[in-house]
Amino acid sequence: MIYSIAFCRVIRIRITAAVTALILACSHSASADSRVLTLQQALSRATQQHPSILSYQHRLKSAESAREQANSLPNPELDLEIENFAGQANGLREAETTVSILQPIELGGERKARTSLALINRDIIAQEALVAKLAIKAHTKLAFTKLLYFQLLADLTQEQRQMAHFAADRTKRKHEAGAVLLVDKTKAEVTLQNIQLEHQQALAELTVAKQELASMWNGSEQDVGTVSGSLAVDDPSRYLLSANFSKSPLAAIASLKRRSASESLALERAAAIPDIKVGLGYRHIGETDTDTFVGSFSVELPLFSQNSNAVTGAKHLIDAAAMEEVDARRQLGLQVTRLQARLRSLVAQNQRVTNSLVPASKTAYRQARDAYEQGRIGYLELFDAMRTLFAVKKANLDLLLSLNSTAIELEQLFVVEEG
């Protein structure tokens, strides 16, 4: 009876410990789930906190201030003139004092051209900011994809390790039963150790991938637990459409630089037209103690410079900007063609691996395992089937990573429509 009571207490203690362990496991799982990161969350963090984007926000504000400044009228001038004082005159009593306001007036549309040039320069910075944002989004997507890749690779090596452990255990039992040689048992153990090293390497790469992703928002590895998503590329055909340069910020920058050169020419031509100054003033004549008003008008005489050299230089800059725009579109077209050709090849390879090689290698491994259990083949044949299966699975992951990388590069060049 005493033994029975003691046995019940042991059972109760074990059940309590098991329940406690289950609660702790669930708590840990919930904690881990709270750190699951989606692609949209990663992109939101990067685009809100990356220093480059914050820098362009300030540059845009500076460019807008420059545009407003360019649209400002020239300031008036205050002119004070005193004549006929001292000398033989009686101090300042007989002096003539004139106070005038002079207003410069810009002719030839100089202010309009200056404002248009500042507006285009602001638009160039806005497009450069878009290029920077697309680059940051691309780097974030690539870092996220690599993290997902190494996450799946770690799962794959873990699965491979379990299979290798199964094979090593079966080989050990067969050796103890005298069914296989010691060399087969040793090979199975060495294989298991090598696969364990591969799994550890995958975990190390996973840690580095977390750090790379978190660095996109100046975070740390602790900001990233696991990532959720798929390596499958949704509708790859949308990346294979004809290149629409109107959606390329790089092409837009080249076009804006050509327009900027044209506005610079307009500004130089306007600067060649002399500005004028008109003035209105009050004059006090001390000798007669009388007051009067005066007016003035002045204009620059373009005797030595008509700004012709600056105009000629601006014309050459227009030609240079036009050639640079043509070259930018040419390079962009070549890059798109190269990336689209790579994408087509990767899509075809991925379909072949997914639809043919993966199912065939799974079947081959299953058949080899059954044959090994029945003693019809040796460990080397089983090991070869297992390595082939995981080589094909890893090749599938590698292809998906390359597919994503290529699609991300195309997205960086163009604003790709969703859906």
Parallel, antiparallel or unpaired: strands 290-299 and 96-105: unpaired
Q: What is the pLDDT of residue 12?
A: 41
For residue 79, which of 367, 282, 358, 311 has the smallest C-alpha distance?
Answer: 282
d(CA 204, CA 186): 27
Q: What is the pLDDT of residue 86?
A: 66
Q: What is the pLDDT of residue 147?
A: 95
SS3 state at 231: coil
418's tokens: 């969703």
Half-sphere CA count of 232, side-chain side, radius 13 A:
6
**CA 213 to each of CA 56, 208, 218: distance values in angstroms, whole numbers, following the listed order:** 22, 9, 9
Q: What is the pLDDT of residue 168?
A: 81
Q: Residues in the chain, how many? A: 419
Q: What is the mean pLDDT of each run of 10 residues along the chain (419 residues)?
A: 40 38 38 70 91 93 95 94 73 84 93 95 95 93 95 92 83 76 79 88 93 90 85 81 74 93 94 94 89 93 91 96 93 91 93 93 92 82 88 94 93 64
Q: What is the pLDDT of residue 16?
A: 39
Q: What is the pLDDT of residue 31?
A: 40
For residue 342, which of 233, 259, 252 has the smallest C-alpha distance?
Answer: 233
Q: What is the pLDDT of residue 83?
A: 87
d(CA 167, CA 195): 12
Question: Cβ distance 357 to 392 under 8 Å?
Answer: yes
All structural domains of the chain: 38-72+106-272+307-413 (1.20.1600.10), 78-105+273-306 (no CATH)
* pTM of the predicted model as reported, rounded to 2 decimal places: 0.76
Backbone angles phi, psi at 299, to 5 degrees: -145, 140
Q: What is the pLDDT of residue 89?
A: 55
